[in-house]
């Protein structure tokens, strides 16, 4: 039951308050301490009042980046990150981040001002007229509109509970301008405020589902565990590690689950991923979905006879691509506790031959990677640049790593090990570009720790202007642009004769480091491994906003990175 008591607004006062103040009080009452956004009509005063009340307001240059910062804050804190935007175009810019948050299961609330409902509903052409609530519904977990100031407390409470309960996601909260400016007496206002109690209650799995899951694993000779970002979000780190180590089952972390167990853990099968997926006869998915990132669970990537155990909070996720032999529906933390409680010593024993085969392939692939990293080509390729970064980051586990691009994303994921959970933040389920600066800012604000954003030059362009935001707030963020002068690579020959560059070509001579220098940050231009390592170490030691423009061979990289199979080719194109 929601609690409406202990309002900071004195109920015996005869003074008036307004919707602006009520929104701020509703957020504060529910321990919201940060708002990301872009101000303008009609929410400028809302940002001012929030800041004056003690809520930190981080102002961005574009709403999409502000939304991404809010989304990753939700992922890291298990509380909804808040993004504040103006109406219509600003709202639509924020919607990209909201949709991405919902797809990834990140709790976020997009709060947007909107125009006069009476005019919008009759389509009479109000300022930035748009039916924002209905526009948001297909892309959010839920969308609400507050039509009366006395409903603001309930509206904020509903948004918070919806964002974090069940599978987390994005929620849209529409605040028309007339509601924000409307007044009401403080006694009514005090009674309207709501403290949300237990917004994400535990969802306990059925005991029979736990027995079924353990039976499937007990009957397996070649079991495998896949850790998804849902497992990382759950923060059930100790129980997940205990289950893996007690059973001896090898595991593979999905990209944002890296560090739940250290990447150098002896049971990690990440270096033998393809073999492990194809040969496993029982697979336990912990907070991971059988979507395109896992080949939809189908042959030839997977054995056609493998049995699947899946832990997820949504029953509707089961059997989405392949039959699930043992569905465990519940929150990850409760499910892992139940599995540990039901686990009998010695009942789950991976076959020694299976473990030996995985070890052999790991050893071979690790040696192959070491050969890549030891090379010093000139100009650098992705591997040699990332080897320099890897060496500098060794022994600094607290650093957060943001990563996006095509080759920059794929190769960094394989090269840079993560020793701690929730330190790697990347493009996620959609594989979307443009999350980089928003995620970096959100991680820096939330954690207070240094953040390194490893960006492809194309990916950086989506949100690069936020370097001004980084410098304005003096955040300890270092951006490394792996610059090969193109989308995927920079050596494509133009296809026309009008002098225009090829579709994938960017500017290899671009001086990205000068952008951050214009705003008072540290800029570095490097073209070899030694200078890259030196620049990164210096930037980390300074604690100041920095950007390293790292020149990469234009021929380095492959089109679409590791997912080139998803990029269709014209049947009539010249070969």
pLDDT in tens, 443-490: 999 999 999 999 999 999 999 999 999 999 999 999 999 999 999 998
Identify the residue whose tokens are 């409470």. Answer: 157
For residue 359, the surrounding DSSP H or E stretch is helix 352-374
Specify whether the CB–CB gap between 139 and 85 falls below 8 A. Answer: no
0.85 surpassed by pTM: yes
- Rounded Cα–Cα distance for residues 147 and 125 (Å): 20
Give the pLDDT band (50/70/90) at residue 569: confident
pLDDT in tens, 32-50: 999 999 999 999 999 999 9
- CA distances 459 to 63, 346, 479, Å, are 17, 48, 12
Give the pLDDT band (50/70/90) at residue 219: very high
- CA distances 420 to 51, 536, 537, Å, are 33, 21, 21
Note the pLDDT of residue 523.
98
Note the pLDDT of residue 3.
45
pLDDT at residue 10 greater than cutoff 80: no
Non-local CB neighbours of 87 within 8 Å, separated by 6+ positions: 41, 42, 112, 113, 114, 115, 127, 128, 130, 132, 177
pLDDT in tens, 405-422: 999 999 999 999 999 999
pLDDT in tens, 307-325: 999 999 999 999 999 999 9
pLDDT in tens, 162-191: 999 999 999 999 999 999 999 999 999 999
Domains of the chain: 16-192 (3.40.50.970), 207-358 (3.40.50.1220), 375-561 (3.40.50.970)
pLDDT at residue 5 greater than cutoff 60: no
Non-local CB neighbours of 358 within 8 Å, separated by 6+ positions: 250, 269, 272, 275, 276
Over range 335-339, report the average pLDDT. 98
Specify whether the CB–CB gap between 547 and 395 falls below 8 A. Answer: no
């Amino acid at each position: 039951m929601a609690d409406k008591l202990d309002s900071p607004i004195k109920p015996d006062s005869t003074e008036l308050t307004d919707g602006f103040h009520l929104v701020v009080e509703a957020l504060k009452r529910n321990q919201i301490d940060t708002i990301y956004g872009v101000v303008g009509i009609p929410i400028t005063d809302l940002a001012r009042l929030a800041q004056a009340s003690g809520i930190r307001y981080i102002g961005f240059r574009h709403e999409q980046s502000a939304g991404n910062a809010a989304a990753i804050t939700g992922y890291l804190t298990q509380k909804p990150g808040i993004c504040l935007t103006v109406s219509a175009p600003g709202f639509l810019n924020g919607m990209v981040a909201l949709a991405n948050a919902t797809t990834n299961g990140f709790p976020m609330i997009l709060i947007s001002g909107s125009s006069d409902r009476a005019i919008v509903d009759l389509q009479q052409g109000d300022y930035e007229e748009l039916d924002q609530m209905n526009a948001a519904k297909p892309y959010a977990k839920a969308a609400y509109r507050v039509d009366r100031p006395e409903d603001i407390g309930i509206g904020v409470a509903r948004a918070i509970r919806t964002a974090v309960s069940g599978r987390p996601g994005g929620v849209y909260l529409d605040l028309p301008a007339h509601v924000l400016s409307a007044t009401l007496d403080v006694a009514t206002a005090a009674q309207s405020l709501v403290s949300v109690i237990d917004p994400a209650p535990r969802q306990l799995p059925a005991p029979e589902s736990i027995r079924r899951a353990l039976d499937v694993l007990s009957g397996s000779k070649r079991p495998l565990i896949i850790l998804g970002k849902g497992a990382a979000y759950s923060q059930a780190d100790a129980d997940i590690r205990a289950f893996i180590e007690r059973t001896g089952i090898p595991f593979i972390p999905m990209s944002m689950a890296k560090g739940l167990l250290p990447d150098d853990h002896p049971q990690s099968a990440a270096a033998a991923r393809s073999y492990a997926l194809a040969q496993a006869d029982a697979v336990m998915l912990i907070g991971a979905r059988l979507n395109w990132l896992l080949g939809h669970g189908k042959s030839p990537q997977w054995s056609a006879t493998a049995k699947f155990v899946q832990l997820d909070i949504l029953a509707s996720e089961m059997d989405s691509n392949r039959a699930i032999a043992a569905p465990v529906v519940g929150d990850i933390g409760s499910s892992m506790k139940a599995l540990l409680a039901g686990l009998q010593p010695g009942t789950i024993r991976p076959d020694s031959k299976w473990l030996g085969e995985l070890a052999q392939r790991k050893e071979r692939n690790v040696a192959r990677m070491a050969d890549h990293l030891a090379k010093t080509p000139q100009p650098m390729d992705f591997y040699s640049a990332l080897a320099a970064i890897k060496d500098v980051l060794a022994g600094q586990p607290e650093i957060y790593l943001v990563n996006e691009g095509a080759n920059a994303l794929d190769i960094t994921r394989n090269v840079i090990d993560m020793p701690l959970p929730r330190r790697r933040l990347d493009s996620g389920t959609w594989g979307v570009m443009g999350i980089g600066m928003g995620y970096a800012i959100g991680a820096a604000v939330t954690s207070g720790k240094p953040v390194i954003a490893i960006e492809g030059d194309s990916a950086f362009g989506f949100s690069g202007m936020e370097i001004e935001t980084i410098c304005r707030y003096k955040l300890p963020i270092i951006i490394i642009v792996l610059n090969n002068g193109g989308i995927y690579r920079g050596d494509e020959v133009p296809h026309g004769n009008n002098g225009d560059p090829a579709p994938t070509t960017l500017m290899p001579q671009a001086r990205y480091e000068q952008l951050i220098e214009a705003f008072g940050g540290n800029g570095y231009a490097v073209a070899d491994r030694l200078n890259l390592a030196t620049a990164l170490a210096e930037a980390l030691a300074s604690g100041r906003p920095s950007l390293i423009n790292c020149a990469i061979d234009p021929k380095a990289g492959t089109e679409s990175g590791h997912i080139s199979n998803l990029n269709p080719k014209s049947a009539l194109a010249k070969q």
